[in-house]
Amino acid sequence: MEAMERIAPRILAEEWDNPGLLIGDPAQKINKIITCLDVNEAVVNEAIEKKYDMIISHHPFIFHALKKIRTDLPMGKLIQKLLKNNIAVFAAHTNLDSAKGGINDMLCELWHLHNVQMLNVNFAEELVKLAVFVPKSHAKAVRLAIGKAGAGYIGNYSYCAFEMQGMGHFLPLAGTNPYIGEIGKIASVDEVKLETILPAKIKDRVVRAMVKAHPYEEAAYEIYPLKMTGETAGLGRIGELEKVVPFEEFAAMVKDTLQIDHIRLVRTNDREIKKVALCSGAGAEFLSTAKMRGADVYITGDVKYHEAQKAQELNINLIDAGHFGTEYLVAKALAGKLDTYAKKNKWNIEISYDKVAKDPFVML
């Protein structure tokens, strides 16, 4: 679960979503994991047969509120099987769509897009500024401690901080145990004002590290909210191909690389393709955004009749590569990411992925 939080932070999930641990106990010890797009009977049977103790899917197995668990019906039957065999079920849905390195980025990689940006930014990390007053003798220790705790990241630079020298004054009151000065006497000390920037979510950790490294009984510090934001995340991506290609050629490449047997095209103009916008799953809602951002083509799944008409109105080429088509790659890719994480942390876990899932739609 810690690995999944790294790969697809829960904070990135859409409000209506239901990611996370859906069946099981967070304390359960996991030895074998299978990843998949959907939790269905085939996956559950494979998990039982091959003794997997956790299934990680993209689509949440439990999405709508359950009002009954009838074991004579498909859903109830699967829940019963999962519980009986002690198999945990976890989902990373829209948080995995939005996350850096998530499904949308996997598609960009597959199609070799560069200059990739978010299509629809829906999360921007809140940043704060920390200013701490520390005696000159301990300025370096405090600066390094807060840097080690994760403060001071600006782009690819870490431990960023600014120091200003000045004079601190204080009067220790009765009952104190001052590091410098005496009770009842105003002390004046050469101090440094140390400033740095950090994500609001790690504020407590940084303050703890700062207080630990600070010599004073009462460390004087301030935290300010900032208008600027840090890392962004969001659904969909927009990027550029290495070279301009005709629409049909691009569409054929999409079909080939996704290893699917059909795609649907809404061809609205003869423009060659350079700028590509995409959103895995059902992303027709970002069609106008793709047009506004100057995309030559928009690729998504689950396109409806009126959405195809909208593409014509907007004069943007549209490819419906299917919901399954744009997302099945997640099963293998997620297994790979988890495996890397497990190896790095020396976890003895076996990870596999659902190799038999098929698009429910077939073409005649």
Give the nearer residue to Zn ion in terms of CB position, either 209 or 235. 235
* Unique residue bearing structure tokens 């105003």: 186
Give the nearer residue to Zn ion in terms of CB position, either 36 or 241. 36
Q: How far is the CB of 38 from Zn ion (least distance, A)?
A: 9
Q: Counting runs of H as helices and runs of E as strands, what totals does the chain give?
A: 12, 13
Q: How far is the CB of 226 from Zn ion (least distance, A)?
A: 35
Two structure tokens written together for 290: 């793709």
Stretch that binds Zn ion, among 28-36, 231-239, 273-281, 336-344 (CB under 5 A): 273-281
Please report the sign of the dihedral spanned by the C-alpha atoms of residue 12, residue 15, residue 21, residue 22: negative
Stretch that binds Zn ion, among 24-32, 239-247, 274-282, 303-311 (CB under 5 A): 274-282
Give the nearer residue to Zn ion in terms of CB position, either 102 or 281. 281
C-alpha to C-alpha distance for 335 and 352, rounded to whole angstroms: 6
Distances (CA, A) of 11 to 123, 152, 226, 327: 9, 22, 20, 21
E strands present in the chain: 20-23, 32-36, 54-57, 88-91, 114-135, 162-170, 187-199, 220-245, 264-266, 273-282, 297-301, 317-320, 350-353
Binding mask of the shown chain, residues 309 to 348, with x at each position contacting Zn ion by CB under 5 A: ------------------x---------------------
Residue 97 marked in a binding site: yes
Q: How far is the CB of 13 from Zn ion (least distance, A)?
A: 13
Binding mask of the shown chain, residues 89 to 128, with x at each position contacting Zn ion by CB under 5 A: ----------------------------------------
Q: Are 236 and 295 in contact (CB under 8 A)?
A: no
Q: How far is the CB of 235 from Zn ion (least distance, A)?
A: 11
SS3 state of residue 42: helix
Give the nearer residue to Zn ion in terms of CB position, either 172 or 301. 301
Is position 281 an interface residue for Zn ion (rule: CB under 5 A)? yes
Interface positions, 213-252, toward Zn ion (CB under 5 A):
none
Two structure tokens written together for 327: 């997302």
Q: How far is the CB of 211 from Zn ion (least distance, A)?
A: 45
Residue 327 marked in a binding site: yes
Give the nearer residue to Zn ion in terms of CB position, either 20 or 281. 281
* CA angle (125, 277, 361) in 5-degree steps: 110
* Unique residue bearing structure tokens 């239901």: 18
Q: How far is the CB of 363 from Zn ion (least distance, A)?
A: 20
State the maximum Cα–Cα separation within the chain, in Å, rounded to a whole number: 91
**Number of chain residues interacting with Zn ion (CB under 5 A):** 2
Burial zone of 271 (CB within 10 Å; 0-12 exposed, 13-18 middle, 19+ buried): middle
Stretch that binds Zn ion, among 76-84, 129-137, 236-244, 280-288 (CB under 5 A): 280-288
Q: How far is the CB of 301 from Zn ion (least distance, A)?
A: 8
Binding site for Zn ion (CB under 5 A): 281, 327
Binding residues for a divalent metal cation: 58-59, 97, 323, 327
